[in-house]
Structure 1
Amino acid sequence: MKILHTSDWHIGRTFHGTDLLADQAAALTAIADLVAAHGIDVVVVPGDIYDRAVPSADAVLVCNKGLEAIRAAGAVIVATSGNHDSPARLGAGAAFAAAGGLHLMTRVGEVGTPVLVDDEFGPVAFYGIPYLEPETTRFELDIPAARSHAEVLEAAMARVTADLDERRSDGISVRSVVLAHAFVVGGESTGSERSISVGGVETAPASAFDGVDYVALGHLHSPQALTDRVRYSGSPLPYSFGERSHRKAVWILELDENGLAGVERVDLPIIRGLSRIEGTVEELLTDERFIDAEDHYVSAVLTDPVRPVDAMRSLQARFPHAIHLEWNRPAEDSSLRYRDRVRGRTDSEIMASFVTDMRSTPTASEILLLERALASVHQDEVTADSVTGQYDLFGKSA
């Protein structure tokens, strides 16, 4: 049996305010193409199918079309809910969907009940462990004292292994795949994942999954192998500029009659690249060094001595997908101590220098406002001194 492991689609997510639905549709089409090209039997998706609990109508449409394309390519789909999904909404109509080859495993109380898919060697049991928030799932798992993610995950896995042991007690060879949405010790986050810790330790050990043939993890966005049998596939698209150096991928694993026979990483196509560029507005608009970024999502760091006006509009003339901008004003010589920098300067000059350091050189009208404010402060000080001077040490009038 060939199984494709993907996760963290986050359908409906935006990137610095930019709609990604077209990119996400293209990524799902690429996964469907891999299903057809590699003869995949089952696609597993361990959570965060949507980016929010109540996805938009357009997000649902993109997701449904992607699932239909994968199913049409020949694969059964097994999916769980993540910390971004609503288990109730994602799992609505699960029984009906299962009849069409889409198995949505979102109920905590059913973690020990697998989806069974047969091949020439017998059944493969797919167990879906949705995202487990300790505070809300510990009672469903009969561990009311639990507070950590490790405790609830271990309780869920105890149900999985108990079911496997019972099936194998009948002399039937059952291979097993677990889908889980969790932060497992040893995994490296990318910065675009939402924390799943609420008042407790969010990580769980990889050893919690001992006893199964393969563990398909979701939550972390870069493809990584914690062990040969425990892996994150990562997201199909980058969702932060910190991921610009990552190559997105899926894992394709094969089960033979003895269990896991091998795992292959297959890179996904780059839908649109990410670039972080730095320089003055003029340099960014003219320098040939940045030609490769013209069709990328761009994060620009401006180094102009004065904050440019309407810089994003200017940059988008060359980089139409520029979506993030920051101004990093070149630092002046910091070798001089502040005391030395202000020695011999008037209050007005110091105030004008402060505005220049924080923003840009103040205009003539702004300097006039600063001088008026300074004069007002001086007048208040003179008035206070004159009032205080009318009394001696004992509060009697002088």
Structure 2
Amino acid sequence: MKFIHTSDWHVGKTLKGRNRLDEHKAVLAEIVALTRAHDVDAIVISGDIYDSSAATADAQRLVVNTLMTMASDGVEVIAIAGNHDHGGTFEAYRPLMGRAGIQLFGQARARDKGGVYTFAARSDDSPVNVAAIPFLSQRYAIRAAQLIAPGDNVPARNVGSYDQWVRNIVTHLGEGYDPAGVNILTAHLTCTGGTFGGGERVAQSIFEYHVPAAIFPIETHYVALGHLHRRQELPAAAPVHYSGAPLPVDFGEEDNTPVVVLVETEPGKPAKVTDLPITAGRRLRTLEGSVEELRAQVDAAGDDWLRVRVKQSTYAGLRDDILEVLPNALEIHIHPDFTATSSGKVSSAQVASKTPAELFADFCAHVGSDDKRVKALFDTLHDELTSTR
């Protein structure tokens, strides 16, 4: 059987105030096209479908239409909630979406209460079992483990670590595997040793939120993870993969390669994994140089969203000059090499001994500005404010 693994769509994400819904629309249309081109049995979406737990109506409309299009093509759609999603809303819509052939998981469940979704692959009738673990906060991981596998979580063990609670859930769900079928596990979490993509919520990715990849049982044909935005495979007994984000959400992700993962597998055989590039959506790029050097990079920048680091001292109108030639610049900063490096404190006596013009000149030097027009404007305003007329 064949399925596509994807995650971290972050539909509704804005970048420095710029709405990216049209980009997401193009990306999701490309993913739909790939499910059709490769005639897959299923698509597994490993969390963070939305960027916000209070997703806008436009974002929800785009996601729902996309999922319903896939389901209407006969594709099994399995999606779990990530830390950006609202798990309760996923659960509220679970019965309705289930009628449409879309399996939503907003909370962890026991294997006999929907925690493992089973279907027959349309391509070869292979029995397929998908164990689902949506994002678990530290507090909810304990609660979920107690509800799902109470025998393994007596009160005396309530001091267990986050990875132990998740391990208990993984073990419990793995007991629902079929040795004669294809067994898949999807989760939204951080695996120890995984590489961050650059746009993740760090507070929900570090500290106690790590789990080792070794917790996933060898009987799992494929572990489909979400949360880290960089495409990567982690060493483990089972194939453990992050698909990465199909659209970079922050400039820290500009070097990531957006893909979805095509997985081909069958009972008793290892999974074959192929990355399918995602070409829709605008890329993120950082440019550096003086204003003149930046002008020379216009053609290379194309339609990308830009972060600009200016390698010269600032002056009045610099930002406007850059935006005139690079209208897609969302961030404009003076490179640290061209800002004042002095970190010494100035005493009150030193301040009192200087004129306002001298103090302003010191400030301009500190921020790396040597624009005479700014100093002249300060002098004019100072004269107006101090004039006795």
Aligned match for 1:326, one of 311, 333, 336: 333
**Could you say if the C-alpha distance between residues 147 and 363 of structure 1 is closer, same or farther in structure 2, counting changes exceeding 3 Å?**
farther
- d(CA) in 2 for partners of 1:216, 1:329: 41
Q: Is the 8 A contact 1:47 1:181 kept in 2?
A: yes
**Could you say if the C-alpha distance between residues 94 and 42 of structure 1 is closer, same or farther in structure 2, counting changes exceeding 3 Å?**
same
Aligned match for 1:316, one of 315, 323, 331: 323
Aligned to 1:293: 301
- d(CA) in 2 for partners of 1:299, 1:27: 22
Aligned match for 1:263, one of 260, 273, 278: 273
The answer to whether structure 1 residue 245 and structure 2 residue 233 are counterparts is no
| Alignment of structure 1 residues 332-347 onto 2, 5 Å | 347=354
Q: Cα distance, 1:6 vs. partner?
A: 0.2
The answer to whether structure 1 residue 307 and structure 2 residue 311 are counterparts is no
**Could you say if the C-alpha distance between residues 154 and 69 of structure 1 is closer, same or farther in structure 2, counting changes exceeding 3 Å?**
same
Q: Cα distance, 1:125 vs. partner?
A: 0.4
TM-score (norm 1): 0.81
Aligned to 1:141: 145
**Could you say if the C-alpha distance between residues 27 and 334 of structure 1 is closer, same or farther in structure 2, counting changes exceeding 3 Å?**
closer
Letter in 1 for 2:314: V
144-153 or 9-18: bigger deviation: 144-153
Q: Cα distance, 1:268 vs. partner?
A: 1.2
**Could you say if the C-alpha distance between residues 147 and 53 of structure 1 is closer, same or farther in structure 2, counting changes exceeding 3 Å?**
farther
Aligned to 2:116: 114
186-195 or 316-325: bigger deviation: 316-325
Letter in 2 for 1:291: D
- d(CA) in 2 for partners of 1:23, 1:332: 36
Residue-by-residue CA offset, 1:267-310 (whole Å, 9 max, x unaligned): 111421222112233442x32x3312031101111233233426
- d(CA) in 1 for partners of 2:360, 2:98: 69
| Alignment of structure 1 residues 136-175 onto 2, 5 Å | 136-142=140-146, 143=153, 145-146=158-159, 148-164=161-177, 173-175=180-182
**Could you say if the C-alpha distance between residues 111 and 189 of structure 1 is closer, same or farther in structure 2, counting changes exceeding 3 Å?**
farther
SS in 2 for 1:150: helix
User: Which one has the largest radius of gyration?
Assistant: 1
Aligned to 1:216: 224
Q: Cα distance, 1:66 vs. partner?
A: 1.8
Letter in 2 for 1:10: H
Aligned to 2:233: 225
SS in 2 for 1:84: coil
- d(CA) in 2 for partners of 1:139, 1:220: 24
- d(CA) in 2 for partners of 1:334, 1:36: 57
SS in 2 for 1:128: strand
Q: Cα distance, 1:259 vs. partner?
A: 4.1
- d(CA) in 2 for partners of 1:49, 1:146: 32
Residue-by-residue CA offset, 1:210-242 (whole Å, 9 max, x unaligned): 231110000000110113610000111011212
- d(CA) in 1 for partners of 2:111, 2:104: 12
- d(CA) in 2 for partners of 1:133, 1:330: 41
Letter in 2 for 1:229: P
SS in 2 for 1:316: helix
Q: Percent identity?
A: 27
SS in 2 for 1:272: coil
Letter in 1 for 2:249: Y
Letter in 2 for 1:154: R
Q: Is the 8 A contact 1:111 1:128 kept in 2?
A: no
Letter in 1 for 2:375: T
- d(CA) in 2 for partners of 1:199, 1:188: 12
Q: Cα distance, 1:250 vs. partner?
A: 1.2
136-145 or 346-355: bigger deviation: 346-355
Aligned to 1:40: 40
**Could you say if the C-alpha distance between residues 364 and 59 of structure 1 is closer, same or farther in structure 2, counting changes exceeding 3 Å?**
same
Superposed CA RMSD: 3.1
**Could you say if the C-alpha distance between residues 258 and 301 of structure 1 is closer, same or farther in structure 2, counting changes exceeding 3 Å?**
same
Aligned match for 1:123, one of 98, 102, 127: 127
Letter in 1 for 2:267: E
Letter in 1 for 2:84: H
**Could you say if the C-alpha distance between residues 292 and 368 of structure 1 is closer, same or farther in structure 2, counting changes exceeding 3 Å?**
closer
**Could you say if the C-alpha distance between residues 59 and 121 of structure 1 is closer, same or farther in structure 2, counting changes exceeding 3 Å?**
closer
* Structure 1 residue runs without a partner (length 5+): 340-345, 372-398
Q: Is the 8 A contact 1:35 1:73 kept in 2?
A: no
SS in 1 for 2:262: strand
**Could you say if the C-alpha distance between residues 301 and 125 of structure 1 is closer, same or farther in structure 2, counting changes exceeding 3 Å?**
same
Q: How many residues were matched structurally?
A: 358
